[in-house]
Structure 1
Amino acid sequence: MDLDEYRRESKKRWSRVASGWGAQRDRLWASTAPVSEWLVGALRLSSGQTVLELACGPGDTGLLAAERVRPGGRLIATDAAETMVALVQERAEQLGLDDVDGRVMDAEWLDLPTASVDAAVCRWGFMLLADPGAALRETRRVLRPGGRVSLAAWAGPERNLWSSAIGAELIGRGLMERPGPGEPGQFAWADPAVIATQLEDAGFVDAEVETLELSFEYPSLDDWWDVQLDLAPALAETVTGMTPAERDDLREALDARLAEFVRDDGSVVLPAATRVAAADA
């Protein structure tokens, strides 16, 4: 894998789907709020502190942290995609949070002084980076002594069919490639031991890793399909390139795969699982 090319394409893809993430914000928060609560709680925040959010996406976790460090605190919300940072700033204004500093920044090269933040959080971002080890080392560098980091990374695909089902079907049809060992991907950090090792290798200590169970609910399988294409840039690009007949065949296979999760009224509840971790700088 050409990591520089991966970085360029990743930035383009996430920039294109920012509007989808903004549109789905409330729905996602309904399912994922417990994860953000765990991550922010693990930081042990107090008023007046500075919090850094990495690969912030729509920024809901960082904004939760921003509320916890008031008065006098500050959130630095960073993402490589400018459109994602714009989402955070817009939401901060809606919430009346004037202590949010949104910056376009790659997590692997943080344009921040050494020992300048009290805590750092990254929800489902590190495993997607070209060099997550570099990002963690940078995170360690900018944290003050005694600072905390918390992160989330998805458990395996078999425990996250809400997200993995489409990709697995496309891989099986030869339309997408499965990430190789050590390559970035949604489930690259599914193993808790990988997370602990990454944290330790970056210089963090006393790492703790837990697993949280959650679920995603949709009014119908059609709605689930639309949401996935809103949120996942690689999937959306692949599906867009298929013929109508190919898409229909794909949907038929996916509907059969997920039939057991469809309730009598047509709504769908899909289980999910994520790792959450925290450590000291």
Structure 2
Amino acid sequence: MNELEAAKARATAAYNAAADYFDHPVSSFWHRFGRRTVERLELRRGETVLDVCCGSGGSALPAGEAVGPEGKVIAVDLAERLVALGEAKARERRLSNIEFKTGDMLALGYPDASFDLVVCVFGIFFVPDMVAATRELWRMVRPGGRLAITTWGPELFEPANGAFWEAVRAERPDLLKTFNPWERISTPEGLRDMLNQAGVGNPQIVAEDGEHPLSSPADWWLIAMGSGYRGTLAQLDPPTLDRVRERNLAGLGQSEAIAVNVVYSVARK
């Protein structure tokens, strides 16, 4: 298995496992930032949208509302359990213009210039070669269309993130991650450089600092269970999982919020 296939397998396993908590109310930031990404794009009725790494519909659902029945949204994710959640929400909202499908954003097979808008929220960094992945997304944007990539800013989920990895280090140091893939593009300068390398010129980039409230430290554990951290947690036996949880929450103390800094980019072709 090569590096790309290994990365895809890790992301698929982690987010399929996380699906049972992914849409828990404590993790409302997925949909908050998905909607903000769409709002920044000023979508018009009748436009066609490709949303990759769509999760359970954080950006696909508001995009479907914005383009109306005359438009079309194709929402793609590797994790079939997240896709199923998105499909259920689209049916509930009677958004028949959204097609959710399980798939790989690098192998969708659409011709050049197929979409008015291509969106990727919190997903481009899962691909080892982000430049090549971005180039593939840009290829599918029509002349005059837009590419929107939203990624995490610095200090994501701190102080809970640091406490999490310290708890993992104490129990399973072999699982410790010393580098998060989004860190390369967690600043406007880093994201701009990656986009330029992919041939995406003159992107509009905005960094937004923010916090996500916690009603108690236990909220953080629910967030971890419904996110990429689940890939690490799934490798722990039950007694070890309990000890990691206790250490993590003790390390978090009485923190009432975690950092959720975001960087938005939009480029017109």
TM-score, length basis structure 1: 0.83
Rounded Cα–Cα distance in structure 2 between residues aligned with 1:81 and 1:251: 25
* Map of 2:177 onto structure 1: 178
CA contact (8 A) 1:217 1:269 kept: yes
Q: Deviations over 1:146-177 (max 9, x none)?
A: 11111221122366334453135424762423
Are positions 1:277 and 2:265 aligned together? yes
Rounded Cα–Cα distance in structure 2 between residues aligned with 1:84 and 1:58: 5
Q: Which has the higher contact order (CA 8 A, sep 6+)?
A: 2
Are positions 1:254 and 2:255 aligned together? no
* Map of 2:54 onto structure 1: 56
Residues 160 and 279 (structure 1), Cα distance of their counterparts in 2 relative to 1, 3 Å cut: farther
Rounded Cα–Cα distance in structure 2 between residues aligned with 1:110 and 1:233: 27
* Map of 2:137 onto structure 1: 139
Gaps of 5+ in 1: 262-267
* Map of 2:201 onto structure 1: 205
Corresponding residue pairs, total: 266
Residue 122 (structure 1) shift? 1.4
Rounded Cα–Cα distance in structure 2 between residues aligned with 1:27 and 1:199: 32
Q: For residue 205 of structure 1, give the secondary structure of its aligned residue in structure 2.
A: coil
Residues 251 and 11 (structure 1), Cα distance of their counterparts in 2 relative to 1, 3 Å cut: closer
Moved more, 40-49 or 11-20: 11-20
Residues 237 and 67 (structure 1), Cα distance of their counterparts in 2 relative to 1, 3 Å cut: same
Query: Of the candidates 237, 261, 264, which is equivalent to residue 234 of structure 2?
Result: 237
Residue 211 (structure 1) shift? 1.7
Residue 64 (structure 1) shift? 0.6
Q: Deviations over 1:8-52 (max 9, x none)?
A: 232222222223213x1x4433x4555234311332310000011
* Map of 1:265 onto structure 2: none
Rounded Cα–Cα distance in structure 2 between residues aligned with 1:274 and 1:168: 24
Gaps of 5+ in 2: none
CA contact (8 A) 2:48 2:73 kept: yes
Aligned pairs for 1:80-229 (under 5 A) are 80-157=78-155, 160-171=158-169, 174-179=173-178, 185-229=181-225
Give the partner amino acid of 1:70. Answer: G
CA contact (8 A) 2:155 2:261 kept: no
TM-score, length basis structure 2: 0.87
Rounded Cα–Cα distance in structure 2 between residues aligned with 1:47 and 1:151: 21
Rounded Cα–Cα distance in structure 2 between residues aligned with 1:124 and 1:172: 29
